[in-house]
Amino acid sequence: MLNPTCSVTLVADGDTYTAFPLSNAVLAGLRPLTAQQFGYDKIAGSGVEIAAGRVTGIDPQARTARLGDGRSIPYDRLVIAPGIDVKFDAIKGYGEAAAEVMPHAWTNGAQVALLAKQLEAMPEDGVVVISAPVAPLRCPLGPYERASMMALFLKARKPKAKLIVLDSKDSFILQKQFEAAWAELYPGLIEWIGLSQGGNLTEVDVANKTLITDFESYKADVANVIPPQRAAEITSTAGVADRTGWCPVDPITFESQLVPNIHVIGDAAIAGAMPKAASAASAEGKICAAAIAELLQGKTPQPRELGSSCYSLIAPDFALAIGDKYRPTDGQFMEVEGNATSTPADATAAQHAQEAKSADAWFAATTRETFG
């Protein structure tokens, strides 16, 4: 739309995209998984060519992306937004097979469905253990929203159950607000164990459904292991990921700092102070598109500000929110001072209810804008 002389091809692996914001509500039984899934028909209808398949190779010299079935797509500019992979080698005993027993539910809908099924089937007085990884991670608030949504389910359906969060960190964003909400809504149900108390998961014993930390072992009926993360595999294939496992980019155009003519947006990119969140990814997509439209017209893109807002559902009418604005500064996205907002620790019920409404409205607007 910004540059009608361009043609755009979207490579999509599968018929549907599963959106993760609000996906924790699926675990509480508040939303069906289908409410998170979107097709590409309307995008196709807007003139974008859809190439179904998975990119398996990229040749930056020839400027082609190769698909699994051997097709090759030429490009002037390539945008990669592949999200993350969980690091299967970071926790001893954990791998793809282990994830079928101890799901991470962090990258695909089938894993969310598996975790929901396990919760449903667990004994009434069972123990759920969630392990939260070190930063940087996709959706820094996500593990704690997940604990809240699972607690909602357990309170109603398995009232004698217990939920333990093993954390590889000593603190997390909005911790005060989460803990106050847990004390109010789920008293005695959630136990959070930080790094200093031995919360760092080092090993799993899949056969015995046991999580082993620096200090202790925890036997679980349901184990939700969220491992450390890195940019998805294709970024290594393309040569745009550095030794951190993430992709350094120019904050004005999102062009890779390692490979010309390839842009990286979303969770895979190192975007300074910006969180790895869908709201940020969506804003990055727009900035990147505008920059590419200008580059292809021989213009020089100028720095643009962007915003991000994340919501965490604690109960159906109770949410926390956090937001900020960012601007390219010294080659990196930095916070624009004075724009950070978050639900206050002493927020009223009406404020929490309003945040929950805003979360729904944001999700509806963003998915409508993206998928039509």
Cβ proximity of 199 and 168 under 8 Å = yes
Question: Quick one: which of 163, 249, 277, 287 contacts ligand FAD (CB under 6 A)?
Answer: 277
* 138 touches ligand FAD by CB under 6 A: yes
* 133 touches ligand FAD by CB under 6 A: no
* 106 touches ligand FAD by CB under 6 A: yes
Identity of the residue, 98 or 268, whose beta carbon is nearer to ligand FAD in the bound complex = 268
* 11 touches ligand FAD by CB under 6 A: yes
* 228 touches ligand FAD by CB under 6 A: no
* 281 touches ligand FAD by CB under 6 A: yes
Least distance in Å: CB of 372 to ligand FAD? 17
* 328 touches ligand FAD by CB under 6 A: no
**Which of 124-132, 262-270, 288-296, 350-358 is the region at the interface with ligand FAD (rule: CB under 6 A)?**
262-270
First-last CA distance in the chain: 15
Calpha distance 154→160 (Å, rounded): 8
Calpha distance 91→65 (Å, rounded): 33
Least distance in Å: CB of 282 to ligand FAD? 8
Which residue matches tokens 């759920």? 128
Identity of the residue, 245 or 266, whose beta carbon is nearer to ligand FAD in the bound complex = 266
* 310 touches ligand FAD by CB under 6 A: yes
* 311 touches ligand FAD by CB under 6 A: yes
Calpha distance 88→188 (Å, rounded): 32
Identity of the residue, 186 or 311, whose beta carbon is nearer to ligand FAD in the bound complex = 311
Count of beta carbons in the 10 Å neighbourhood of residue 97:
9
Residue type, 274: M
**Which of 40-48, 91-99, 138-146, 253-261 is the region at the interface with ligand FAD (rule: CB under 6 A)?**
138-146
Which residues are within 8 A (CB) of 202 and not within 5 positions of it... i.e. 6 or more apart? Answer: 91, 92, 212, 213, 214
Question: At 27, phi and psi to the nearest 5?
Answer: -70, -30
Calpha distance 260→257 (Å, rounded): 7
The CB-nearest residue to ligand FAD is 266
Q: Can you list the alpha helix ranges (DSSP code H) found in the chain?
A: 24-27, 41-45, 109-121, 142-157, 175-185, 234-238, 278-295, 349-371
**Which of 33-41, 154-162, 272-280, 335-343 is the region at the interface with ligand FAD (rule: CB under 6 A)?**
272-280
Question: At 245, phi and psi to the nearest 5?
Answer: 95, 0
Identity of the residue, 281 or 287, whose beta carbon is nearer to ligand FAD in the bound complex = 281
* 369 touches ligand FAD by CB under 6 A: no
Which residues are within 8 A (CB) of 311 and not within 5 positions of it... i.e. 6 or more apart? Answer: 21, 319, 320, 321, 355, 356, 358, 359, 362
Which residues are within 8 A (CB) of 31 and not within 5 positions of it... i.e. 6 or more apart? Answer: 22, 23, 25
Least distance in Å: CB of 55 to ligand FAD? 4
* 266 touches ligand FAD by CB under 6 A: yes
* 137 touches ligand FAD by CB under 6 A: no
Cβ proximity of 252 and 114 under 8 Å = no
Q: Which residues in 195-224 contact ligand FAD (CB under 6 A)?
A: none
Which residues are within 8 A (CB) of 309 and not within 5 positions of it... i.e. 6 or more apart? Answer: 279, 321, 322, 323, 362
Least distance in Å: CB of 275 to ligand FAD? 8
Q: Which residues in 61-90 contact ligand FAD (CB under 6 A)?
A: 81-83
By the criterion CB under 6 A, which residues form the site for ligand FAD? 11, 13, 17, 20-21, 23-24, 54-55, 81-83, 106, 138-139, 142, 146, 232, 234, 266-268, 276-279, 281, 310-311
